[in-house]
Structure 1
Amino acid sequence: MKLATLPVAVRHVSVLSGSKSLGALASRHYSTQTSSSKSANPSSKRRAVTPFNDDGRVNWTDLSRGEKAARATQQTFNFGFILAGLGLTGAVVYLLFTEVFSPDSRVANFSRAVDLIKKDTACQAALGDPKKILAHGEETYSRWKRSRPIASTISQDRFGVEHLKMHFYLQGPLNSGIAHLHMTRHPNHGDGDFEYKYLFVDVRGHQRIYLKNADDDNPFGSEA
């Protein structure tokens, strides 16, 4: 009896083990398909790319037509913004150079005129110690007390000659006054620098003091 039942028992065990191996293979196949399907669609869970949220992390080949258009729009806007910034920076640099740092700027001509006034003996006698003479622009109603712009104009006549006209105020320990400056720049002059037409100072109680006068043979003389 025992010898007759032994083959049956062995066959039953083999069938069970075979069914377990088939189940394991099926589960592995299912998990492989699931993982491959997830990896095959990595973009299914990412958010859509727009001109406002594109950070460049998604490859160009993975973008749809609409997303490619959005990225192109964003890059075009960024490029235009950069160009506008460069243009604005260039304009500011040009303005600073022409108005401040250039040898023929208004600030440079103002500083040279003030130096001439401080060195002139007639101005020293009328205003006082040159080290204490202050020059400033127009009084304003601004709450910033140091905001005193220099009143100046640059114009061009029919002959192409540029005219720089300026006036500013002087304050010394003895008196106060007003300086008037007129400079010209001729287009046919090789150096292209401004030249003095006149520079004079009016001080209350004193006669007009000329420091530069192109119509006078002695431009450094003072009016008698």
Structure 2
Amino acid sequence: MNRVTAPGLRIRPTALHYNPIAHPLLWLVAPNCPRYPSRHYATQHQQSSTSESRRRAVTPFNDDGHVPWTELSAGEKTARAAQQTFNFGMVILGVLLTGGVGYVLYSEVFSPDSKTAYFNRAVDRIRTDPRCLELLGDGKKITAFGEETYNKWRRARPIASTVTKDGQGNEDMMIQFNVQGPKGSGRVGMHLIKRAGQHEYEYKYFFVDVKGQQRIYLENADASREKEGERKGFKLFGVKWS
């Protein structure tokens, strides 16, 4: 093994980590020996302290949660709390909006009692009713659409409908729309009632008007009650009373 020899001193090159002020002969023999190894560690500690002291201040706009809570100042903790409160509020608002949109879609489109559901059922009945087919034409070619507007697309024409509730708690739904087939066109009117304490609508009337033709009733509660009253007539002394 190579060794450096000095008068009265035998050392290894790799062991020359002494202060040359205390040992001047070592520096003369091995000038490449690191004279102040402790400076390197001091510089690293100084850089670490400087980087910590120069840490970017945490604000509600730049906080990413990287800095631990225990290292935050009082103002930075307030900023983080404000940011988290705002984020939580936005999440709650998003949930409420999503729930509101879902409720509207269900009540207006997907619910069995929605006007869209009754509209679709009415169109299906018109397309299969022999009296309507005689006046309108082939059921597969019958189209239904809402009120006339400046929009040329029939699908964009809204269906006229109103829902009201009377003083007794009965809910009335009125629906009107147009139908057109190869032979002619007509106007459809529907009146449904959901009585207090009930969960489903029942028809009061459902008719189709074709210009120049007699009104076609697909549902008529008043006429049905009159017929039932006639059938329920009773006899007294051999005479049928209504």
DSSP 3-state at the match of 1:217: helix
Q: Choose which of 35, 57, 61 in structure 1 pairs with 2:66.
A: 57
Deviation, structure 1 residue 65 = 1.4
Matched with 2:123 is 114
Give, as a single letter, the amino acid of the residue that structure 2 aligns with 1:202: D
Matched with 2:107 is 98
Matched with 1:131 is 140
| CA RMSD after TM alignment | 2.5
Deviating above 6 A after TM superposition, structure 1's stretches of 4 or more consecutive aligned residues are 18-21
Deviation, structure 1 residue 28 = 2.9
DSSP 3-state at the match of 2:182: coil
Tell me, which stretches of 5 or more residues in structure 1 are unaligned? 1-8, 220-224
DSSP 3-state at the match of 1:146: helix
Matched with 2:232 is none
The CA distance in 2 between the partners of 1:88 and 1:60, in whole Å, is: 33
CA deviations over 1:41-94 (Å, ceiling 9, x no partner) = 542222211111111111111211111111111111111001100000001111
Matched with 1:31 is 40
The CA distance in 2 between the partners of 1:193 and 1:79, in whole Å, is: 40
Deviation, structure 1 residue 139 = 2.2
CA deviations over 1:82-129 (Å, ceiling 9, x no partner) = 110000000111111111111111110101111121222111111111
The alignment status of 1:203 with 2:233, answered yes or no, reads: no
TM-score by length of 1: 0.82
Between Structure 1 and Structure 2, the one with more helix by share is 1
Q: After the TM superposition, which residues 1-224 of structure 1 pair with which residues of structure 2 at under 5 Å, given as runs?
A: 16-17=24-25, 27-142=36-151, 146-189=155-198, 192-217=199-224
| C-alpha distance 200-19 of structure 1, shift in aligned 2 (>3 A) | same
Tell me, which stretches of 5 or more residues in structure 2 are unaligned? 1-6, 9-21, 227-242
Which deviates the most, 95-104 or 38-47?
A: 38-47
TM-score by length of 2: 0.76
The CA distance in 1 between the partners of 2:80 and 2:136, in whole Å, is: 68
Deviation, structure 1 residue 205 = 1.2
- Count residues in correspondence: 205
Identity between Structure 1 and Structure 2 (%): 50
Deviation, structure 1 residue 30 = 3.4
